[in-house]
Each structure stands twice: as structure tokens, then as C-alpha cells.
Amino acid sequence: MHQTRYQWIDNCKAIGLLLVILGHGRLFPESWQQFVYSFHMPLFFILSGLLYKYKSPKETLVHDILRLLIPYVLINIICLFVQYGILYLQGGLSWEACYNRVIGILVVACHTGAYPPVSGPTWFIITLFFARMLLSLSDNKIYRYLLLIGSVLCFIIMKNNEIDTYLPVDSALMSIPFIVLGIELSPFKAKEKWGRNVVLLFLAIAALSILVFTNKYNGLVDMAWSSYGRNLAIFYVNGVLGSFALMALIIITPLSAKIQEFCTIVSKGSLMVIGFNLLLVMALQTIAEKLIYPHPLNNKPLIGVIIALVILYIFYWMTKLCQRYFPVILGTK
């Protein structure tokens, strides 16, 4: 059955992916990165909740194998062979290096640690898979609320006892409140239900103003590391504030038909953008630093934004090609 697309959600995803690229490439100042990281991944989980439709555990498993797990495997296999090629050229290719990277895919390694990551950002795909499986156990609203509370409590226990599951179970538990919030907001998928633009603009400015101060206190967060800063409650508040502000601003901002079409295509390729953006970031960042500005690009955010937009434009065409010839990597038939 064809799923209704909501243009403003596609626009939000495209902006969120731009922020992901900027953050992964360290393409803007550290203070900006701390601000963006406070809400850019919560945004994706809230948007996932907005689009969530209940399916039984069996239906969810079958659906998400195609939609999430197969793209995860394909993206990582492609990145794996790219890494093997780089290691070979550097003279560092060995059986141990090959083995460790395969294990890194299996345990969803996202940062250099016990096992090296292959496509680190794909932690999001597996995190979303675990969260959706937990949500599929019941469509009862009370269950969702109990799951929200239980997830937060289990996450706190895991952090306090330094329990490491390798697989991103902790990140999945961390994401549940944002997804549940998105599900509860799903009646507002139609942007007309958000109210008047003037009110939305005022609320967005107020949310951003509060976020500026609370973010400075809470410090840098990173859901990939299940790191929430100084205070977990403030982490959730900041994630909601920043996500709401961005969504409200997107809703009230008029965009041309061409930009909207661009955002829709990029949104359809979001898994591919998440999985491959680091490869393109490193390539274009190296070119820019050698030919344009031979210093770290976080000192020149304008150049960083241009590079991120170029990368997003490349993904636009990659997505169009994959839609025609290799849709399985996008999580579609």
C-alpha cells in the first residue's frame, strides 16, 4: 500500500541530513557542533515516530529486514571493501584487520574501540530496528508509556553499571521517548494542524532561546555513544526543543518546487546518506584543505556548509540512480 508523503517531513529530513554531514565532517566550530548534536538525532527519531504505523512483531521483523537490515548490510559491505582497498594501498591489510572489521559490522561498531567501525553512522539503522521491535509488542497506548518509562530506567541502570552490550541496545532505549513522542504527535502530520505561522515562529524562537542556555550547561551529547551530557532529563528536553524549533521553522518557510523535490529525493535516500556520508566528507574535505583552504575547515563554516551541500547534491543523484537500478539499498523493493 502506498504511504502518504508529507513534504514538510521530507524537508526536515533533508535539513537533518545536512546537519549530520556537517557534524561528521567537523565542518563548523565546536560550539556549533555541540548545539546541533543536542537535537539532530532526536529529530530523526521523532520523525520516525510521526510516520510510525503499528505492525505485529512478525510483520515488523519482515518489513524491517527489507527496510533496515538489508540496507545496513549492503552499505557496510561496500564500505568494507573501500577500507580494504585503502589498507592495501597503505600496506596495512592483514587477516586480523579484515577479521576485526567484519566483527565491527556484526556488533555495530560506531567509533574506534575494541573493533574498528566500517560505516559508523549506521548505528542509527540498527538502533531504529531494535526500537521498532520493542514498539511492535503492543499497540496499546499504556504499553507505549510503560515502555517509555521502562526504557529510561533500563538505560540509567546500564549507564550506572557500565554495561556494554556492543550492539546499540542502550541507544535504542535512549531513543524510545523521542519515538513515542513522535507517535503521539502523529495526528499533526498535516502541517495545517500546527496552527498559525506567527505563533509557530514565536514558539520556535522561544525554544531556540531556551536551548542556547540549557545546551551550554548540559555539554556535548552523542547518541551513538549513548552520551547524554551532564543531565539525562535536560538531554531529552533539549532534543525536543531543538527538534520542535526546526520542524516549526521548516513548516512556515516557503520553498520552491525544485527545492522540495530535492528534499523528497534526499529523504528517500536517507539510509544511504547516513551510511556513506563519511566517505564523501573525507574525500571532499581533503580536496578542499589541499586546494582551497589548508587549515581545519571548522574555522571556515561557510566553506563547510558549501561542502556539505555539494555532498547532499551528490547523494541526490545517487538516490535517483539507486531508485532505478538498486532500490534495495534504499530500503525499498
pLDDT band, residue 292 (cuts 50/70/90): low
Amino acid identity of residue 244, one-letter, is F
Please indicate whether residue 61 or residue 332 has the higher confidence score (pLDDT).
Answer: 61
Query: How far apart (Å, rounded) are the C-alpha atoms in residues 184 and 46?
Result: 10
Residue 222: φ, ψ to 5°: -155, 105
For residue 248, give the nearest of 210, 209, 195, 186 by alpha carbon.
195
> Which residues, including other chains, have CB under 8 Å from residue 204's CB and lie 6 or more apart?
244, 245, 248, 249, 252
pLDDT, tens digit (0-9, with 9 covering 90-100), for 259-274:
999 999 999 999 999 9
> Which residues, including other chains, have CB under 8 Å from residue 282's CB and lie 6 or more apart?
25
- Torsion 280-286-290-295 (CA) sign: positive
For position 297, what pLDDT does the model report?
58
pLDDT, tens digit (0-9, with 9 covering 90-100), for 105-117:
999 988 656 788 8
pLDDT, tens digit (0-9, with 9 covering 90-100), for 225-257:
999 999 999 999 999 999 999 999 999 999 999
Task: Tell me the whole-structure pTM to 2 decimals.
Answer: 0.94
pLDDT (mean) for 125-132 = 97
Mean pLDDT over the full length of the chain: 91
Query: How far apart (Å, rounded) are the C-alpha atoms in residues 333 and 76?
Result: 19
What are 222's strand-pairing partners? Answer: 227
Residue 34: all three cell numbers together = 555541540
pLDDT band, residue 306 (cuts 50/70/90): confident
For position 20, what pLDDT does the model report?
94
pLDDT band, residue 86 (cuts 50/70/90): confident
CA distance readout (Å), 272 to 73, 75, 86, 252: 12, 7, 21, 28
CA distance readout (Å), 214 to 35, 87, 126, 209, 240: 10, 43, 29, 9, 12
For position 1, what pLDDT does the model report?
47
pLDDT (mean) for 19-27 = 86
For position 295, what pLDDT does the model report?
58
pLDDT (mean) for 53-74 = 96
CA distance readout (Å), 171 to 6, 152, 200, 278, 284: 27, 11, 31, 20, 30
